[in-house]
Structure 1
Amino acid sequence: MQKRYILGLGKINIILILMAMKTILQFMVLALVFDILTSPQAWAEVDCYGDKELVKVKCKKTLEVLGPYVDPNPSCIRVVEQSDMACICGIIKPEEEIYISIIRFLRLARTCRKPVPAPGQKCGTYTIPHPSPVPPSRIH
């Protein structure tokens, strides 16, 4: 009795096709694993540590805790405009608040029209206050 193979292919051809499919599948799985491991979103974390360091360096005078507020210089503004200031708020450490004024950080972000966390949320250890209610006008 003679065995019939799919589409008239011989046994050796079927084995070669299956081996090729296995190799392709292994490569695809390897590529998927590589993509998952190298993607920051895979770790559920947005990477803004580099942005934070740039803002700290370029905006040092504006963010200083002591002394009067200093308007940001053009290089500071450029860095802030390209940074995720809300993300940076979430990664400012308490020990950095010794030399970074969070109030000035928030003012700098607002000056550059960059979003910051909503009222009630934290920026570093500072909780962003809700806006004061507008007092009712007096009728005379």
Structure 2
Amino acid sequence: MGSSSFHFLSLSLSVLVIAATVCGVSAECVTSIPSLVSQCSQYVKIAGPEVPPSKDCCDVVKSLDVPCICKFVTPEVEKLISMEKAVFVGTSCGLTIQPGMKCGSYVVPPLARGTELTD
């Protein structure tokens, strides 16, 4: 992710954090967004291969309220991150992400045969 894209995403998410706080969305969900961006953005950028996430990224991911975070996935966010890589990061960090779950406009596809998710 280029520097300008990262700064745009950070600014956009900061505005969303403020708006969500005013509207009464879970404070835990909102406060995790900046950490998520700073620790995990390199693993979900559109360009490049899937790369296993760092321990620091997984520590943030494991604390997420995924349905809450998914409310913040707008078409603009989807232009900056790979939703497939976001699912890869989540599952690599031990989250169970159910096929059919919707996050923004992205719907988690069915598992490939022989693929298992861990808790």
Report the TM-score range of the alignment, normalised by the length of the smaller protein.
Answer: 0.5 to 0.7
Partner of 2:69: 88
Q: Is the 8 A contact 1:85 1:109 kept in 2?
A: no
Q: Distance in 2 between matches of 1:104 and 1:111?
A: 10
Q: 1:73 aligns with which of 54, 59, 71?
A: 54
Q: Is the 8 A contact 1:62 1:104 kept in 2?
A: yes
Report the CA distance shift for 1:130/1:59 in structure 2 as closer, same or farther (over 3 A): same
- Relative contact order: is structure 1 or structure 2 higher (C-alpha 8 Å, sep ≥ 6)? 2
Superposition RMSD in Å: 2.4
Partner of 1:98: 79
For residues 35-92 of structure 1, the C-alpha deviation after alignment (integer angstroms, 9 at most, x for no partner) is xxxxx9xx6x434122233212211110111111222122112111222234312321
Partner of 1:127: 107
TM-score, scaled to structure 2: 0.63
Note the residue ranges of structure 1 that are not aligned, 5 or more in a row.
1-39, 135-140
Q: Which of structure 1's runs of 4+ aligned residues deviate more than 6 A?
A: none
Code of the residue aligned with 2:83 in structure 1: it is: I
Note the residue ranges of structure 2 that are not aligned, 5 or more in a row.
1-20, 115-119
Q: Distance in 2 between matches of 1:133 and 1:62?
A: 25
1:132: Cα distance to partner? 5.4
1:107: Cα distance to partner? 0.9
TM-score, scaled to structure 1: 0.54
- Count of aligned residue pairs for this structure pair: 91
Q: Distance in 2 between matches of 1:53 and 1:112?
A: 18
Report the CA distance shift for 1:53/1:130 in structure 2 as closer, same or farther (over 3 A): same
Higher-Rg structure is 1
